[in-house]
Amino acid sequence: MIFAKELRKQNIAEYLIYMFHLEDLIRFFDANIEKLYENYICNFDIDKKNLAETKEWFATFCKMMKEEDLMKKGHLQFLKSKMNELESFHLQLLFSSEENNYVQKFNVCINDLNIFKEKSDLNNCGNVETGITALYMLFLMRLKKMEISKETDESMERISRWMSLLSKKYYEFENGIAEI
């Protein structure tokens, strides 16, 4: 799918949040590609060729979710691998002597991440997966027009600033603009 590919190139955190959303969307439609097409894909403002390619992309995505037994919960293996890669990158940044700004941004939100981990039973997850999950939960709350407390909003803003910097650093590293 064109949008996902472009998002993946530009901002890894937003890409992962988007992919979490697609996993939930596929669960909602019980991985039925025809229902997904009729209720979601056919509304895309793209030409017929791209529409057919998008349907095929979603069909593959549905098949993968069924094969990996993710119809109730969990994330596709390739997304878990990307989060693990991003977690390793995050750790490299934390231990780099030249990344003081990054370390400061992370330290500002570490308590928020730990509280979210505890409340969401994510104690076995790394900080990157926790941050992505927290921001995805915020996205869902906004989508459902739920009330968000001032404390939650402030907490999510701190996590968001850290994830934004991590995504920027990852983009620069991946594109040869910067090294660790």
Q: What per-residue confidence (pLDDT) applies to 1?
A: 62
**Residues recorded for the chain:** 180
Q: How far is the C-alpha of 76 from the C-alpha of 69, rounded, in Å?
A: 9
- CB-based contacts of 161, cutoff 8 Å, min separation 6: 105, 108, 109
Could you read off the pLDDT tens digit of each residue along the chain, which spans 180 residues?
Answer: 667 777 788 899 999 999 999 999 999 999 999 999 999 999 998 899 989 999 999 999 999 999 999 999 999 999 999 999 999 999 999 999 899 999 999 999 999 999 999 999 898 999 999 999 999 999 999 999 999 999 999 999 999 999 999 999 999 999 989 887
Give yes or no for a contact between 139 and 72, defined as CB atoms under 8 angstroms apart: no
Residue in the structure block whose two tokens are 């037994």: 69
CB-count exposure of residue 131 (10 Å: 0-12, 13-18, 19+):
buried
Q: CA-CA distance, 130 to 143, in Å (whole number)?
A: 20
Tokens of 131: 């941050």
The Cα–Cα gap between 11 and 170 comes to: 8
Per 3-state DSSP, the chain is made up of helix, strand and coil in percentages (nearest 5) of 75, 0, 25
- The pLDDT score that the predictor gives to residue 15 is 94
